Amino acid sequence: MRWLSRDQERAWRSLALVMHQLRWALECQLERDSELSFIEYHALARLSEDPDHRLRMSELAAVTNASLSRLSHLVKRLEGWGYVRREPDPTGGRFTIAVLTDAGYSKLVASAPAHVAAVRQLVIDEFSAAELAQLRTMCERITTRVEASTWKLELT
Amino acid sequence: MRWLSRDQERAWRSLALVMHQLRWALECQLERDSELSFIEYHALARLSEDPDHRLRMSELAAVTNASLSRLSHLVKRLEGWGYVRREPDPTGGRFTIAVLTDAGYSKLVASAPAHVAAVRQLVIDEFSAAELAQLRTMCERITTRVEASTWKLELT
């Protein structure tokens, strides 16, 4: 077992604090302004990026990094509010498609300005373009490791 | 309203993905190996760093970035498992102290190796010392902004 050095511990702690604090600040902003959770907002945003506003549940699970059972609860909530509906996949009966409704798209359009303003204020405006590129590279190196790890989605 | 440029959007998305995926991977690891959530583990870890294994609830709220009402639920759960107990603060009757019990300390000691191994595998081992210092600086710049923001702890 190798423990962390003092500098490694400090780096890890600063990243853990971002995960706690930034996540919590954005949850609060979305809850206050839009009555959505961070992951609900991101699910609507990912659906809106498909030209037809629809994704297989398994694709939506991958982009929101939810397990399928967790995503199923999430989509049921969004469906209850009328923002999403589920349909059988016409190309394969085993699959379910999540479709962004017009109400869901309107909700996203209404929610985005305040959320983007928060993201700017808390993250983007702090960094130069070169620093943002650096931050992106570092984050992508982490997610590559996470995606390769055996822990991901192991619990549902 | 200023939207994000393509590069800003990419950088933001990579950070959001770290918050989703890394957090989730570590939640899964802790749940599987120790039956603790990420924030429960961090609360035990912060208490263990105090020489007397005790902190005011308000101090613990600050380091875990939980609101006081959220923290109160968290500490009640930890108390139910025998890992923490609450005491009135001898220096000020208005305050409550959270104390790490021996069972709580043992739980942390038993949980730490697998968690540290996960943190190494998913984050630390990816970066050189210089890169970790860079990552730390960037994360600290973000948390400075979050701490200065009006959203923090606004909802409880």
pLDDT in tens, B70-124: 788 889 999 999 999 999 888 876 788 999 999 999 999 999 999 999 999 999 9
Residues of B in contact with A18 (CB under 8 A): 19, 139, 142-143, 146
Confidence label for B67 from pLDDT (cuts 50, 70 and 90): low
- Closest chain A residue to B142 measured between Cα atoms? A123
Report yes or no: B21 and A65 within 8 Å, Cβ to Cβ: yes
User: Any alpha helices (H) in A57-153, and if so which ranges?
Assistant: 57-64, 68-80, 102-122, 129-148
Confidence label for A156 from pLDDT (cuts 50, 70 and 90): very low
**A19-33, A51-65, B123-137: least confident range:** A51-65
Segment (H or E) for B55: strand B54-56
**Position of tokens 């609060």?**
A28
**A38-42, A100-104, A134-138: least confident range:** A38-42
pLDDT averaged over every residue in chain B:
88
- Encoding tokens for residue A137? 């590279």
* C-alpha span between A40 and A131 (Å, rounded): 29
Give this prediction's pTM: 0.84
Q: Is B123 close to A145, i.e. CB distance below 8 A?
A: yes
Give yes or no for residue A95 having a pLDDT over 60. Answer: yes
**Position of tokens 């300390």?**
B105
Summarize the confidence of residues A105-134 as an average pLDDT.
Answer: 96
Report yes or no: A120 and B149 within 8 Å, Cβ to Cβ: no
Tell me what pLDDT residue B1 has: 44
pLDDT in tens, B19-37: 888 988 898 899 999 999 9
Q: Which residues contact A73 (CB under 8 A, 6 or more apart)?
A: none
pLDDT in tens, B6-18: 999 999 999 998 9
Tell me what pLDDT residue B151 has: 53
- Closest chain A residue to B147 measured between Cα atoms? A21
**Position of tokens 């639920």?**
B73
How many other C-beta atoms are found inside a 10 Å radius of the C-beta of residue B76? 11
